[in-house]
A and B are shown apart, each in its own frame.
Chain A
């Protein structure tokens, strides 16, 4: 089995683990930022609204790779400027961290818009009913708005996730050994770049297919009777 792909299959699969790790960790960061951004835009004061609005607009207006380079190389300069003052010596920014920060930061903006739309889709009547029952605003959010919005957020959330997974391919550009990076190494060594890039493409399709199944399951789970 390992002889196909010239013995490089384990290396590609190891890269796939890195890809999935980057994707999942960025997803967690993006969810946190997305909830923050959506809450700021919906419930925040004028300053919070302005900051969140600028964040979502600017991030969605700039290519992901430009932001990644900015965080990776810019972060390097920044950390070492601070390091010089404290005499830390030269510090390398880890492409793993830079990749997760950038992708999480970018998709936080998209998640924010998804959540904002989903929260606005929860019917006013349900929220008013909660208040009429004497619930506090916090209780209304945790018992009514939040569970209600999940259903509306699922399609947008999965769409963001699928785009996010594909975006992780960019971390290979800043030198992280994900499956794209490893495919390049293996392909160049064996002079079979086509074989290995196609293999990685198929593995991406596999992640997409599994995600689709997960989405169908979640949609069924959060569906309410009669809808």
Chain B
């Protein structure tokens, strides 16, 4: 094994790393924003709010992300009206298709985590909010969501790691993320061990960093639940 290939190509790998982190962060933020209303709808007692949200979550959690990204990036080109519309500027770019697919996917998983936490909100907390004369909106804003989101932190940490690992699919649709960079090195030098072991180590380090960050966040926000 000759790891000098890796040292000579560190700039490429670091550029890939940059794209991986960029894709991860943008999709997580977008996914989080979508997941909040989605989780409230999915936890709702009203049918017309619950059924669409639950269907969205079911479909996105039940199918492979690879299929979702293929439908958006390759599939949508089937429609001529879309290719001729202004939206095509967005959908022809692998970058935006990847972000859209990642964001919708993580939104579904995150919404399911939040929905579970909302449903399990202790009754006393909600009764206290009602007793204070809070409107439904205020109950969500000041009591239910802050409480549910805090309790979701450990599960959400796992979701962030899953998303990090899922970003490799960007490398499948031609983008040069960390995985894409490793693929290029492998085909250029025919060096599968060097390329993929190095990429694997990069991912391992990011994974451990995320785990560490979430330990800190948990320590801060879940102090009151520790015994």
Residues of A within 8 A of B (CB): 58, 60-67, 69-70, 72-74, 76-77, 162, 166-167, 169-170, 172-173, 180, 184, 187, 191-195, 197-198, 200-201, 204-205, 208
A169 touches B74 (CB 8 A): no
Q: How far is the CA of A147 from the CA of B45 in the complex (A)?
A: 39
Residue from the list B75, B79, B197, B200 in contact with A197, Cβ < 8 A: B75
Residue from the list A65, A70, A191 in contact with B168, Cβ < 8 A? A65
Task: Tell me what chain B mostly uses at the interface: helix, strand, loop, or mixed.
Answer: helix
Contact indicator B168/A63 (Cβ below 8 Å): yes
- Which residues of B are interface residues toward A (Cβ below 8 A)? 58-59, 62-68, 70-71, 74-79, 164-169, 171-172, 179, 182-183, 186, 190, 192-193, 196-197, 199-200, 203-204, 207-208
**How far, in Å, is B80 (CB) from chain A's closest CB?**
11
A15 to chain B, nearest CB (A): 13
CA distance A169 to B77 in the complex (A): 21
Q: Give A64 to B65 CA distance when docked, in angstroms.
A: 13
Q: How many pairs of A and B residues are in contact by the CB < 8 Å rule?
A: 112
Provide 27 A-B residue pairs closer than 8 Å at the C-beta atoms, listed in order of the A residue: A60-B207, A62-B165, A62-B200, A63-B164, A63-B165, A64-B168, A65-B168, A65-B172, A66-B179, A66-B182, A66-B200, A69-B183, A69-B192, A69-B196, A70-B197, A70-B200, A76-B192, A77-B192, A173-B66, A180-B67, A192-B78, A194-B75, A197-B67, A201-B59, A201-B67, A205-B58, A205-B59
Complex partner residue of B200 from A67, A194, A204, CB under 8 angstroms: A67
Q: State how many angstroms separate the Cβ of B147 from the closest Cβ of chain A.
A: 25
Chain B, residue nearest A172 (CB):
B66
From B70, B77, B183, residue with most partner A Cβ within 10 Å: B70
Residues of A within 8 A of B58 (CB): 205
Q: Select one of A63, A74, A76, A77 contacting B179, CB under 8 A.
A: A63
